[in-house]
Chains A and B, each alone.
Chain A
Amino acid sequence: MTKLSHIRNFSIIAHIDHGKSTLADRLIQMCGGLAARDMKEQVLDSMDLVRERGITIKAQTVRLNYKARDGETYVLNLMDTPGHVDFAYEVSRSLAACEGSLLVVDASQGVEAQTLANVYKAMENNHEIVPVLNKIDLPAAEPERIRQQIEDVIGIDASEALEISAKTGIGIDTVLEAIVTRLPPPVSPGGPDAPLKAMLVDSWYDTYLGVLILVRIVDGVLKKGMRIRLMGTGGVYIADRVGVITPVQKLVDELGPGEVGFITANIKQVADTRVGDTITDDRNPTQSALPGFRAAQPVVFCGLFPVDAAQFEELRESLGKLRLNDASFEYEMESSAALGFGFRCGFLGLLHLEVITERLEREFNLELITTAPSVIYKVQLLDGGKIDVHNPVDMPDPVRIEHIEEPWITATILVPDDYLGAILKLCEDRRGIQKQLTYAGARALVVYRLPLNEVVFDFYDRLKSVSRGYASFDYEIDGYEPGRLVKMSILVNEEPVDALSMIVHAGRAEMRGRDICERLKDLIPRHMFKIPIQAAIGGRVVARETISAMRKDVTAKCYGGDATRKRKLLDKQKAGKKRMRQFGKVEIPQEAFIAALRMGDE
């Protein structure tokens, strides 16, 4: 057990590419956590995808032993936080397990929106914050300007910001020293003798050990063999292993107040553990759980269907495997006339959705069709009932609906002045309400309230394209509000096509309807009869296109020698139909659905 005064728990807040992982690696190296030959580049980001996209999905941690200039040895626990917008809750829990943060800012790029959001969360958790200017060795570095920007935008004193280069190693020693001298040690209101009170910071699945739980001890001692209780879910388990990550897993006998470590307890699946839950001693439980716990709630939903129907079982297995390690997404079976059998999946956000679908395709070799993302609508029925709807197919008949509420977000966008106009237009087009517009040097800080359903519909892509990639974005869910929402159906030859129906704001329906009708007109091959394509709200058609009838489809010459060939050709056509979906009399190639669903690519 380490004395509280010799423990520092901290996290690193940084924008993608600003050098968080490189700095973490340097800190590990300097403290001798790994021999140089064991040092894989960027140890913390263990998944390929994470490394490629620069996104940390699972919070990880590492315990370092640092001999400070005062001659004492300190235990430094670096809590890595998930670095993307969809994991706001997980970030807040990781931050709650620390007392301080390093705010790493690229000395030439400056503060980004995501950094800003996380700094505010750290401040809410009463963190001491040490600004660190990274990449100081680059010719473009402007430490003075960025220092000023940090003060202007974030409002913290940056006069003592450290200047470092994680890449070359400049200033790493000053970082370690600042962690010890400037960050406070943890506090334990009850001390080591109080009943156990620990926070479940994260959990993940390990092929050899099963579910590992990352814990931060607040009060009491967690001993190997202890019968623990997860207070939120009520699960009781025996802690069969207790250890720390250095980053090599090292078993210990116990963890005391202020310490961070892991346990295993023969827990079968990650879904049985909830981030933010309080762990206590089942025989001697604490009276009060830690504040701030809530269950992760998916906010964005979509259908995932295999392009090849034969891959359905593989998809089911792959989803199961992914969920072993990521309890934050959910899925249930769904069948669609257009796309066959698949799953309706819920995610923490759009990026989370992208990460999961990309992993399914990449790690499990699946070819997937993703239907348009949807949010959860709260539907107030006239009979007094209230239902949640995230699949347009489940939307009740309009005559039964009193009103519909939709989720809103507060979005923070940082954008260079040149692109401000385009960003404001984008937000206004998406029904946004401006809350704040301030300047920080040559960049504008824009805060908007936006309906989430406008954001899940290609907002990121548009944001990136209108700002040429310079705008950065973060959001927080910000309650439900009634909206003029309608279900828009797409009818092909008078038959509704389930996979293409959507819930939209009445004011945007016509435009969206026209867009999809035009696309389908080009995507559906001509038939022997003309095919109306309509976007309709209830019985009212808001957009319409017509595919004219094909006029010529006949073999010019057919004599005695052609009978065999022609018969075989017909057989081949029959086989080709397997990739077609039948809607009434109309055959729609699966490719048409994929293309129609890939909205906003242009």
Chain B
Amino acid sequence: MPVSHTEHSNPGFAVYVHWPFCLSKCPYCDFNSHVRESVDQAQWRSALLAEIDATAAETGKRRVQSIFFGGGTPSLMPPATVGAIISQIAARWELDADAEITLEANPTSVEAGKLSGFAAAGVNRVSLGVQALNDADLKFLGRGHSATEAIAAVDLARRFFLRMSFDLIYARPGQTPAGWQAELRAAIAMAADHLSLYQLTIEPGTGFEGAVRRGQFTPMQGDMAADLYEMTQEICGAEGLPAYEISNHARPGAESRHNLVYWRYGEYAGIGPGAHGRLHLDGRVYATANFRKPERWLEAGRETCGMLSGRDQSIEMLMMGLRLLDGVSTARYAALAGAPLSSAIVQELCDQNLLSQTGDRVKATPRGRLLLDGVLARLLG
């Protein structure tokens, strides 16, 4: 289903549902994930449904254009719970007939077996955490599946879902351009309409951070990582899966509609532990954040709900929007910020081949996307 690129001023309303549990914690992951011996499924199901009720009570009616089950590992959820949540969202808000409903899944054989159940529950798109296509690197990344298992899970998912994506983590320590090229080509051959290709980042508080500190491995140098990134753009573009965001590639029209709501800075509700929302209430924009710890969330749900100033919104809009190849509307920025972007700085960044400007839109160039954090610091500094 092609997605309209024109509705930037109203990117739509999306619902994010967070399932915080994993069987084990991967050493690169800094997401809100927790390992628990057992989960009281009934309690969790009713808590998630209750939060949908409460949030819908705040927002009133909305046309939900996408739902995203993220985690954690949402493929560990009982399909019935997934179904109940979708029904509740449809009941409390209003679900678009062609709403995109994505669920993240680990490509283990056990979870692959549940894919038909998720499809039956209403999920119409899956995103598989494949991460690598060789066993040595999968082991390094702490994954609980083999390459063969992952490939089988991708094949199976393609049978149940028309829309399917999977993730790979690259720029791993010691990875060679030739090795990555072969792996990437293999991935493209398996891919349906979407790929997320993330460069390995050593995040604070993760297992990898400790390993690097202890000298167990050295992260790839920036210049080498940049080479791999550029190679990735070239290959994916040639193979019909161009980037539409820093790390996301899709056949034209197959972009993740849900994630586009974030990047186009639309409205979204966050359900579950650690989930964030941006709610538009009475003409104001509120940032909501739930308690991260599962047990704490069960007790108290939301931790903060603060109004964002126009300036805050303009910063977030720019920061998210420049990740897209499509860039941002300068008029929208100016309306939120109360003042336009400095034309001198924009010109300077254009001169440095980091930004380009056509009419109302400012975009990051390919070089600018690789340096986006610096570009943003300059624009907003």
Contacts and interface: CB of A to CB of B under 8 A. Distances in A.
Interface of A: 527-529, 550-561, 563-564, 566-567, 570, 573-574, 577, 585
A553 B373 contact: yes
Given A550-B371, A550-B374, A570-B377, A560 B276 contact: yes
Contacts of A550: 222, 371, 374
B381 interface: yes
User: Which among B278, B354, B373, B378 has the greatest number of chain A C-beta atoms within 10 A?
Assistant: B373
Contacts of B247: 556-557
Contacts of A527: 374
Interface in B103-162: none
B284 to A, nearest CB: 16
A204 B376 CA distance: 58
A551 B371 CA distance: 6
A551 to B, nearest CB: 4
B307 interface: no
Given A528-B374, A551-B223, A560-B261, 14 more contacts: A553-B373, A553-B374, A555-B246, A557-B198, A558-B323, A560-B16, A561-B32, A561-B276, A563-B316, A563-B319, A567-B319, A570-B315, A573-B377, A574-B381
Q: What are the 7 tightest A-B residue pairs by CB atom distance, in nearest-first order?
A: A551-B226, A552-B226, A560-B262, A561-B276, A552-B222, A554-B372, A556-B198
B259 interface: yes
A554 B374 CA distance: 8
Interface stretch (B1-9, B175-183, B267-275): B267-275
Given A554-B246, A556-B247, A570-B376, A528 B371 contact: yes
Interface residues of B, number: 47
A552 B370 contact: yes
Contact of B262 (A551, A563, A577): A563
Contacts of B222: 550-553
User: Which among A529, A554, A563 has the greatest number of chain B C-beta atoms within 10 A?
Assistant: A554
B274 A552 contact: no
B319 A570 contact: yes
Given A550-B374, A560-B278, A577 B198 contact: no
Given A560-B16, A560-B276, A570-B380, A554 B270 contact: no
B77 interface: no
B348 interface: yes
A555 to B, nearest CB: 6
A560 B268 contact: yes
A574 B376 CA distance: 11
User: Which among A550, A556, A574, A577 has the greatest number of chain B C-beta atoms within 10 A?
Assistant: A556
B264 to A, nearest CB: 11
A77 to B, nearest CB: 66
Interface of B: 14, 16, 32, 198-201, 222-223, 225-226, 229, 246-247, 259, 261-262, 268, 270, 274-278, 287, 289, 312, 315-316, 319-320, 323, 348, 352, 354, 369-378, 380-381
29 contacts: A527-B374, A528-B354, A528-B378, A529-B352, A550-B222, A550-B371, A550-B374, A551-B226, A551-B371, A552-B223, A552-B229, A553-B370, A553-B371, A554-B370, A555-B372, A556-B200, A557-B198, A557-B201, A558-B246, A558-B319, A558-B320, A560-B270, A561-B275, A563-B262, A563-B287, A564-B287, A564-B289, A567-B315, A570-B319
A52 to B, nearest CB: 38
A24 to B, nearest CB: 56
A555 B377 CA distance: 13
Contacts of B373: 553-555
Contacts of B348: 585
A557 B352 CA distance: 25
Nearest to B223: A551
Nearest to B229: A552
Contacts of A564: 276, 287, 289
A475 B288 CA distance: 72
Given A557-B247, A563-B276, A564-B287, A552 B225 contact: yes
Contacts of A570: 315, 319, 376-377, 380
User: Which among A558, A560, A567 has the greatest number of chain B C-beta atoms within 10 A?
Assistant: A560
B302 to A, nearest CB: 14
Given A528-B354, A561-B276, A563-B278, A554 B380 contact: no
User: Which among A527, A552, A553 has the greatest number of chain B C-beta atoms within 10 A?
Assistant: A552
Nearest to A559: B262
Contacts of A585: 348
